[in-house]
Structure 1
């Protein structure tokens, strides 16, 4: 299950663009907690803490226990906005997580056994089709990742979602096909043209011989006699 982290927020009274700009001038970022059958709750968060969490990675797949004035609730970030010029956070949305509920998440794929993969040992390359898989997962048991084992894959083999053991309660949102996660592609070999190789060899042989002497220069033309 994904690690649950803590986050502190404060309730926000004002809404709208003017109130949001005022919050940002104070070094905080406006946000909202919604869903779970309860009313939306406007909040603010510390800019430095939120900026660090966003750029640390996996922000949208991390569960937080958010403390708003002493009242704690479990949430997951669903979206955030960045300044198009400064890349600084402007707003963040959190979804409430209720026990027994499910939600749609992107779960990263971790690949193992590269060193024992027959296809890679023969010079093939791992071609990753999907770095993450969209799933319906329990709100209180979101997986950190799913594991894709390469141990039996040979050149031109494919790894499909059906070959991956999914955590309990997790199902891919795409159910109508056994989609591909990765393939092992053959080594890149450039076929040599025999005719071109023979021509190149002949050119090399000629180039190795001494160059013929240059033809003797034509005698210089005599200067015209000066007029008296």
Structure 2
């Protein structure tokens, strides 16, 4: 995904309020060997991009005044009751160093598992995402959790997940889903 941003000179509460009233969102790019850069983004484009799951767990191409950098969304703040993005933080990514990112989980085949079909058990999703460590080029958009073989009373742990090559789970003992009768 590609995002266009502009460097901003003015900082502070008043300057940020003026940006928000003008339909812009203040943000920052930090990390790597370069100094942090204060940026401004188009609010509507950012708001709609944040609604996409892939935007949160993928390497983004950020163009700031003609210069393209690889970044990762690290944090964003929303208004308490308005549908407004208040601020966004992006981290520069070095393609040769491992990063640690939370990747969303997609649960499949729960309705055909023996726990549901034979035991009338309920499958609960304990976690919606899992923290992985990998090179930025190996970062998956999501991880699929196959629940077709889960029995009643069993659990699926993060260590049991089928991961792409080069990706490791940070906390392998964490429970991802369980089936309870």
**TM-score, normalised via structure 2 length:** 0.90
Q: Distance in 1 between matches of 2:46 and 2:159?
A: 37
Aligned-partner SS, 1:134: strand
Three-state SS of the structure 2 residue aligned to 1:38 is: coil
Cα pair distance change 1:21/1:69, threshold 3 Å: same
Aligned length: 180
Question: Would you identify which runs of 4 or more consecutive aligned residues in structure 1 move more than 4 Å?
Answer: none
Show structure 1 runs of 5+ residues with no match: 187-228
The structure number with the bigger radius of gyration is 1
Match of 1:184 in 2: 179
User: Would you say 1:82 and 2:81 are equivalent positions?
Assistant: no
Partner of residue 197, structure 1: none
Query: Shift of the alpha carbon at 1:67?
Result: 1.0
Larger RCO: Structure 1 or Structure 2 (Cα < 8 Å, ≥ 6 residues apart)? 2
Work out which of the residue numbers 15, 18, 22 in structure 1 matches 2:18.
22
- SS of the residue corresponding to residue 140 of structure 1 reads helix
2:143 match: 146
**Contact conserved, 1:60 with 1:79, CA < 8 A, in 2?**
no
Q: In structure 2, what is the equivalent of residue 114 of structure 1?
A: 110
Map 1:62-101 to 2 at 5 A. 62-101=58-97
Q: Return 132-141 or 87-96, whichever deviates more.
A: 132-141
In 2, the alpha carbon distance for the partners of 1:58 and 1:147 equals 14
Aligned alpha-carbon RMSD (Å): 1.7
- Counterpart check, 1:52 vs 2:48: yes
1:162-190 residue CA offsets vs partner (Å, 9 max, x unmatched)? 22122223222225xx332211111xxxx
Equivalent position SS for 1:156:
coil
TM-score by length of 1: 0.73
Paired residues of 2:108 and 2:144 also in contact (CA < 8 A): yes
Task: Specify the alignment match of 1:155 in structure 2.
Answer: 152
Structure 1 pair 56–165 and aligned structure 2 pair: CA distance change class (3 A): closer
Taking the aligned partners of 1:126 and 1:23, their CA distance within structure 2 comes to 46
